Amino acid sequence: MRNIIFALILVIAAFLVMDFNSRMTELKYLEAEKEVVQDQLDSRLSTKSALETEIAYANSDLAVIEWAYQNHMAREGDIPVIPIEVNQATSTPTPRPLSTPTETNNFQEWLSLFFDRKE
């Protein structure tokens, strides 16, 4: 009878160890998943903050003034200046004369190499 109770306790302990092992594996998986979701949340929160900043700027008076100036509008009291293109004649460049090389024979070239004189 004692052996049966001991065997029963060993079987129950084995099941408990296997259950503990599977729960630990699931815990590691869920912790990894939590890190991925936390990174996504941080990214979305930074995007939200950037968008809120852009919305605040777009609703400001400074953004309206910049938009108006970019679209060639003027405020009361501004003096708009419209640049006018002036037709100017473009000057034509003067061509430079090309220099013509002088022809020398081989004997003169050899002499100038050895005796350092130009003939």
Those residues with Cβ within 8 angstroms of residue 57's Cβ, 6 or more apart along the chain or in another chain: 63
Check: pTM over 0.85? Answer yes or no.
no
Residue 39 pLDDT level (bands cut at 50, 70, 90): very high
Q: Percent of the chain, pLDDT > 70? A: 94
Q: Tokens 């938009």: give the residue.
A: 67
Residues 76-93: pLDDT tens digits?
A: 888 877 778 777 767 777
For the CA atoms of 61, 67, 69, 73, the dihedral, rounded to the nearest 10 degrees, stands at -100
Residues 52-76: pLDDT tens digits?
A: 999 999 999 999 889 988 888 888 8
Q: How many CA within 13 A on the CB side of residue 116?
A: 0
